[in-house]
Amino acid sequence: MDGCLPLDHAIISTMCPKWKELMRIKKKKGDDCVGIVIGIEENFLCMEETEVVVLGWQLSMFSAKVRIALAEKGIKYEYRQEDIPHNKSPLLLKLNPVYKKIPVLIHNGRHVCESKIIVEYIDETWKDKSPLLPSDPYLRSQARFWADYTDKIYEIGMKLIMGSKGEEMEKARQEFLVCLKVFEGELGEKPFFMGDAFGHVDIALISYYHHFYTYETLGNFSLKNDCPKLFAWATKCMKRESVSTILTDPNIIYEAIIIFRKSMNLED
Ligand X SMILES: N[C@@H](CCC(=O)N[C@@H](CS)C(=O)NCC(=O)O)C(=O)O
Residues near ligand X (CB under 6 A) are 57, 60, 62, 84-85, 100-103, 114-116
Q: Quote the least distance from Cβ 100 to ligand X, whole Å.
A: 6
Nearer to ligand X, 172 or 204 (CB): 204
Nearer to ligand X, 37 or 203 (CB): 203
Q: Quote the least distance from Cβ 22 to ligand X, whole Å.
A: 29
Q: Quote the least distance from Cβ 200 to ligand X, whole Å.
A: 13
Q: Quote the least distance from Cβ 232 to ligand X, whole Å.
A: 26
Nearer to ligand X, 103 or 109 (CB): 103
- The residue with its CB nearest to ligand X is 101
Mode of pairing for the β-strands spanning 52-56 and 78-81: parallel
Q: Quote the least distance from Cβ 193 to ligand X, whole Å.
A: 18
Nearer to ligand X, 60 or 242 (CB): 60
Nearer to ligand X, 161 or 194 (CB): 161
